[in-house]
Amino acid sequence: MSTDEAGQGGAQAQGSAQSTQGTAHGLVQLITPSGERVSHPEFDFWVRDITDEQLCSLFEDMSVIRRIDVEATALQRQGELALWPPLLGQEAAQIGSGRSLRPDDFVFSSYRENGVAYCRGVHLTDLVRVWRGNASAGWDPYTVNMATPQIIIGAQTLHATGYAMGIQNDGADSVAVTYFGDGATSEGDVNEAMVFAASFQVPVVFFCTNNQWAISEPVRLQSHIHLADRATGFGIPSMRVDGNDVLAVMAATRVALDRARRGGGPTFIEAVSYRMGPHTTADDPTRYRDPNELEDWAAKDPISRVAGLLERKGLLTEELQQQVRDKADAVAREMRDGCTTMADPQPLDVFKHVYSTPNSWLDRQQDHYARYLASFGDPAGATLEEGAR
């Protein structure tokens, strides 16, 4: 199923890492929007091991996470989730990069990388736990080597850089990979992360999904140059890839990972894509977005593009499509069931995990609140629902 690590051996055999990508900021593309495989002198090498079978599995993964996204959006509309940040249109960027990582690499992402989380093996129920309001973190980062999603824009890029400093100290060859948006590149944190990463030449990959929008603000408000060019100013080699092209994303990610593993330091990838849905389910893009723009990008859809390639290769059989649909149905069902049957947290849970050792202020507050709840003869606090008005 997974294409983890595929091609890494080949990369090692290649000898000195490709050195020219640092400044090549034409858009790297290996599959055209109509599904034609086009060759690229540098990047073909990095996906030459991808078999037809693996291509089918990438198609499946992308279809499944689109289905996860659609299902979660429906769950939000039905009142089962408080909010959801859709990734519609960003499937290639997330699967192409996510499937290139090794299990011992560590991911620091924003809230939108649910497809990456799927690649890391995050449990489907855990994917929606936070958005349902049942927890602050959906999973234990160490079980999947992925930090829980970050809401503060850009903060995770510093965490990844620090983690990479640790990897470097340990003499390991794993890589820290951080995901963030185009808007995030304006934040001080992201710029400071690049300064540290370049100064210490640590194994970190900056994966920027340029989906053209930061809520209502177009990317041209954040930058007058390609985002990939910003990294160059920090002395970080960068690439600009078609983010709707799963092979191009995979190739670029492998280049960056390979460089990091060999001690070549950080790399910045700008995956040029498009957020086809709203920013979150609370957003209304009709207030700021031209519908024609959506139409243009729909024609570059990442999933129909791989489907087109599979079709050209005679691989898009009814059998494959049925198999993908079945998988997506099963995953969606599992997520829905996990979501709707999730146990509600208990009132006194609010006091848990604030500290790892006892704290006398908090213990007293917990004791008083327990007495308060008990004074209603209702320790579950059910009568308090109205209390917060």
Partner whose footprint covers residue 2, from ligand TPP, other proteins, none (CB < 5 to 8 Å by kind): none
Residue 153 as a binder of other proteins (CB under 8 A): the answer is yes
CB 57 within 8 A of CB 118: no
Largest Cα separation within the chain, whole Å, is 74
Shortest distance, position 240 Cβ to ligand TPP, whole Å: 16
Interacting residue with other proteins among 187, 229, 293, 334 (CB under 8 A): 187
**Cβ neighbours of residue 289 closer than 8 Å, sequence gap 6 or more:** 213
Active-site entry in 288, 333, 355, 372 = 288
Beta-strand pair 217-218/213-214: antiparallel
The answer to whether residue 369 is catalytic is no
Residues 202-221 that bind other proteins (CB under 8 A): 214-217, 221
Shortest distance, position 132 Cβ to other proteins, whole Å: 7
Angular region, 357: left φ>0, alpha ψ -120 to 50, beta rest: beta
Residue 151 as a binder of other proteins (CB under 8 A): the answer is yes
Give the Cα separation of 174 and 277 in Å (integer): 34
Partner whose footprint covers residue 13, from ligand TPP, other proteins, none (CB < 5 to 8 Å by kind): none
Interacting residue with other proteins among 152, 195, 298, 299 (CB under 8 A): 152
For residue 234, the surrounding DSSP H or E stretch is: none
Residue 182 as a binder of ligand TPP (CB under 6 A): the answer is yes
The answer to whether residue 111 is catalytic is no
Residue 340 as a binder of other proteins (CB under 8 A): the answer is no
Residue 374 as a binder of other proteins (CB under 8 A): the answer is yes
**Cβ neighbours of residue 46 closer than 8 Å, sequence gap 6 or more:** 7, 11, 250, 251, 252, 254, 255
Residue 361 as a binder of other proteins (CB under 8 A): the answer is yes
Residue 380 as a binder of other proteins (CB under 8 A): the answer is no
Residue 275 as a binder of ligand TPP (CB under 6 A): the answer is yes
3-state SS string for 316-353: CCHHHHHHHHHHHHHHHHHHHHHHHCCCCCCHHHHHCC
CB 175 within 8 A of CB 167: yes
Give the Cα separation of 236 and 12 in Å (integer): 21
Mask for 111-150, x = binds other proteins (CB under 8 A):
-------------------xxxxxxx--------------
Of all residues in the shown chain, the one whose CB is closest to ligand TPP is 181
Interacting residue with other proteins among 26, 41, 171, 188 (CB under 8 A): 188
Name beta bridge partners: 37.
31
Residue 153 as a binder of ligand TPP (CB under 6 A): the answer is yes
Q: CB under 8 Å, gap of 24 or more: what pairs does 76-83 form?
A: 76/131, 76/281, 77/281, 80/132, 80/339, 80/340, 81/128, 81/131, 81/132, 81/281, 81/339, 82/131, 82/132, 82/133, 83/131, 83/280, 83/281, 83/282
Active-site entry in 99, 112, 159, 279 = 279
The answer to whether residue 159 is catalytic is no
Give the Cα separation of 327 and 124 in Å (integer): 13
Q: Segment contacting ligand TPP (CB under 6 A): 21-29, 60-68, 209-217, 250-258?
A: 209-217
Phi, psi of 92 (to 5 degrees): -70, -40
Shortest distance, position 153 Cβ to ligand TPP, whole Å: 4
Catalytic residues: 275, 279, 288
Which residues here bind other proteins, judged by CB under 8 A?
A: 82-83, 130-136, 151-154, 183-184, 186-189, 214-217, 221-222, 282-283, 287-288, 344-345, 347, 349-351, 354, 359, 361-362, 365-366, 368-369, 371-372, 374-375, 381, 383-389
Which residues here bind ligand TPP, judged by CB under 6 A?
A: 112, 151-153, 180-184, 211, 213-215, 275, 279
